[in-house]
Structure 1
């Protein structure tokens, strides 16, 4: 069994709790749920609306993945948390495929939750695998 690697990405979003941006073992990478905060201005207001927040979250995920030499093409599973599930689920579904190559969507679970850190509408965590 391989040793677990703990990754903190210098250019990544400021953590909202005590965690690593990602951990890695045996070629699998587990990326902590990212929020729609701006890594260059972590105290700035969040983007407005589910589409803008989802884009920001995905950009943050790309920063973390890029910091360890991976891309969205390496993602095998995504978990998405929505505070306004009924209102935002359709808009999320319409936007989600635009982040991936056609026919290359990762497995996914989407869950409605009562609240998220920093008052976010969306949080996404990922599992990726090294090629």
Structure 2
């Protein structure tokens, strides 16, 4: 089966040439999302790491929702922070609020020098569709 490349008209406007998600054999890979507002992509970014993390997570969940999936299907996240030492603790508090405490995805968090659109945070992820007989 060939991979499926997904773009959603109500999803965040891409800041580069990519698909919102690519799916193959039950695996769903979401492109890293920025803290842009899907309904107003040219609006200023939210202020601070907490607001930007919420917007990024909401954008990821919007795309997962278009695919009939939710946070419970996420198996791995990669997180990128431009102000790692300053923002790491508050980022963690905000991030973990999106998951059940017993279903935290595997995760890598990396400090970087810059992100597209001047963002403080970007997150990409891998999700897995439930297989037949799974809940």
Q: What TM bracket, shorter-length normalisation? A: over 0.9
Q: Give how far 1:121 is off.
A: 0.1
- Find the counterpart in structure 2 of residue 98 from structure 1: 97
- Runs (4 or more) in structure 1 with deviation over 3 Å come to none
Could you list the runs of 5+ residues in structure 1 that have no partner in the other structure? none
What residue is the counterpart of 1:85 in the other structure? 84
Q: How many residues align?
A: 130
Cα offset, 1:126, TM superposition: 0.5
Distance of 1:85 and 1:97 partners within structure 2: 17
Q: For the residues of structure 1 that align with 2:22 and 2:39, how far apart are their CA atoms? A: 23
Q: Structure 1 stretch 87-96 or stretch 13-22: which is displaced more?
A: 87-96
Report what 2:133 is aligned to: none
Check conservation: 2:2, 2:24, Cα contact below 8 A.
Answer: yes
TM-score, normalised with respect to structure 2:
0.95
**Does the Cα contact within 8 Å between 2:54 and 2:95 map onto a contact in 1?**
no
Unpaired runs of at least 5, structure 2 = 131-135
Match of 1:10 in 2: 9
Whole-Å Cα distance in 1 between the matches of residues 18 and 54 of structure 2?
Answer: 22
